[in-house]
Chain A
Amino acid sequence: MTPSSFLCLIFIFLVPLAPAGLALINAGLGRSRSAAHAMLVSLAVMAVAALAYFVCGFAWQGIAGGAAHSLRAAGKEWNWIAAEPLFLRGHPLDGSPASLAILLQILSVGLAALIPLGSGSDRWRLGPSCASAALLAGFTYPLFAHWVWGGGWLAQLGSNYGLGQGFLDAGGASCIHAVGGLTALSVAWILGPRRGKYVLQGVPSAIPGHDAVIVVFACFLMLAGWMSLNSAGAILFAGVEPGRAVLIAVNTTLSASTGLLAAVAITTYRFGKPDVSLCANGWVGGLAASSAACAFVTPAAAGAIGLVAGALVTAAVACIEWPLAIDDAGGAISVHAAGGLWGVLALGIFGRFPNAVSGQWLAQLIGIATLIGFVLPLTYALNWLLNCFYRQRVDPEGERQGLDLYELGAGAYPEFVTHTEEFTQQ
């Protein structure tokens, strides 16, 4: 194993801090009576996503230069899906760049599958959550990731049509965050809002998260996970020199920092005091937006990207809750879909490349159009079909009791429960 491969492996070993942080954020921003369920379902979804990716996901995603199916349109090859064998056969897991990419993808697909849990908080059953994660990890994610990271038609926009370097995304702003965020939007629509959210003529009621401490702690964990994810992704998928990992880490930190500060300033202006959950969302929005461009921009540009992301996420959270009337308890749609899409566009605006060719911004716009015009309908249709055969939303009684008691039989914080029988039996 070469020193750069070893460095990459260390980065990949730290990536699980990102899904750990996301699971904590989803649990902390939900109700206390569904907290244990939120953590267990996060772990289960990671497990199902890893298995689905192992069984068929990698076969359809593949790696750049690997076996693939192509169409021919107007004299150009359109590489649209990989043709690798199922169950990772034929790929020795020996420390080669291909094997490192497989390991990173197994973790990344888990992170993408965790994102929709934020929008389905307090009402999405365990079984359907896992089934939905299998669809995401087994089909939607691999297909789009092949187009971006597997040498597919989006990556070929540069060589085929002279659009900059082709669609670029070093750390997963599109493949992980936008795909996960758009799936979160589909899930929120299919599940509908939590009971009691829109009771007064459609005006939303505030349902505050139950633990601000773990939400903020999760932000620290996610910074470490994101620096690793962005660095490993840039080295493996964008061919960046390992030495640029320092620039990537600096850019990631600056983007998160300005995202947080933008959210602090906006919430202080609007409410008179900073709002913890919105500020945490601003931090994570800055991280999500940093992913695409972290290896290709200056630190000042990374700060600007995070600043816009923080403002955008704060505005999107308010707009999605009201007037759009979408119940997104964990802010998954605002943070990952809006933040990720902005990050993709920001690469086209701020990205600097040696031997630059014009049209990078157009390649990025085509990627955004593909996410909204192809990935969103696909993920909506898949989750809608799943809902027809396997009801995704919990019964009203389950929502009233909380998913901990209803689906797991025990709460996350049993000492908080008042056992009335202890008093009435006297």
Chain B
Amino acid sequence: MRLLGLLLLTAGWAITLAAVVLLTPMLQKSLFVVAGLGVEALGLALLIRAHQPPKGDSA
């Protein structure tokens, strides 16, 4: 899950870069940048879940 989270973060960034390079109209570019941020949010959520301490930790 940790690796998948990191891959999603990077994939979101790649979508953002692709939008900057490939798209010209401002609206399309904006939508794809926001979509890239959405993918990054998913990756962040996975990373958070992967790092939750076990319930009932008696340390």
Are B20 and A366 in contact, with the CB atoms below 8 A?
A: yes
Can you list 14 A-B pairs, Cβ within 8 angstroms, ordered by A?
A201-B56, A202-B56, A202-B57, A366-B20, A368-B37, A369-B36, A369-B37, A370-B13, A372-B12, A372-B37, A373-B14, A376-B44, A380-B47, A381-B6
List A contacts of B10 (CB < 8 A). Answer: 373-374, 377
Residues of A near B22 (CB, < 8 A) are 74
* A193 within 8 Å of B (CB atoms): yes
B: interface residue count bin: 20 to 34
- Considering the complex, which residues of chain A in the window 185-205 have a beta carbon less than 8 Å from any beta carbon of chain B? 189, 192-193, 195-196, 198-199, 201-202
Give B34 Cβ to nearest chain A Cβ, in Å.
7
Which of B33, B43, B47, B52 is the one whose CB lies under 8 Å from A366? B33
A46-B26 Cα distance, complex, nearest whole Å: 43
- A199 and B51 form a contact (CB under 8 A): no
A362: CB under 8 A from chain B? yes
- Complex Cα–Cα for A369 and B53 (A): 27
Chain B residues with CB under 8 A of A206: none
Assuming the contacts A192-B53, A196-B59, A377-B6, asked whether A372 and B33 have C-beta atoms less than 8 A apart, the reply is no
Chain A residues within 8 Å of B43, by CB? 373
In the bound complex, residues from chain B placing their C-beta under 8 Å from that of A396 are: 59
Contact A362 B30 (CB under 8 A): yes
Asked if A373 and B53 make an inter-chain contact with CB atoms under 8 angstroms apart, the answer reads no
**Chain B residues whose C-beta falls within 8 Å of the C-beta of A104 in the assembled complex:** none
Q: Does A349 contact B (CB under 8 A)?
A: no
Whole-angstrom CA separation of A325 from B56 in the bound complex? 13
Type the 1/0 row for B36-59, where 1 means its CB is closer than 8 Å to any CB of A.
Answer: 110010011001100111111111
Choose from B9, B11, B54, B58 the contact partner of A376 (Cβ within 8 Å): B9
From B9, B52, B56, name the one whose CB has the most chain A CB atoms within 10 angstroms.
B9
Whether A74 lies near B44 (C-beta < 8 A) is: no
Given that A189-B47, A189-B51 are known contacts, is A365 also in contact with B9, CB under 8 Å in the complex? no
* Smallest beta-carbon distance B21→chain A, Å: 5
A161 interfacial by beta-carbon distance below 8 Å? yes
For the complex of A and B, list the 8 residue pairs with the smallest distance between their C-beta atoms, beginning with the closest. A373-B13, A369-B16, A195-B59, A189-B51, A202-B55, A377-B6, A373-B12, A372-B40
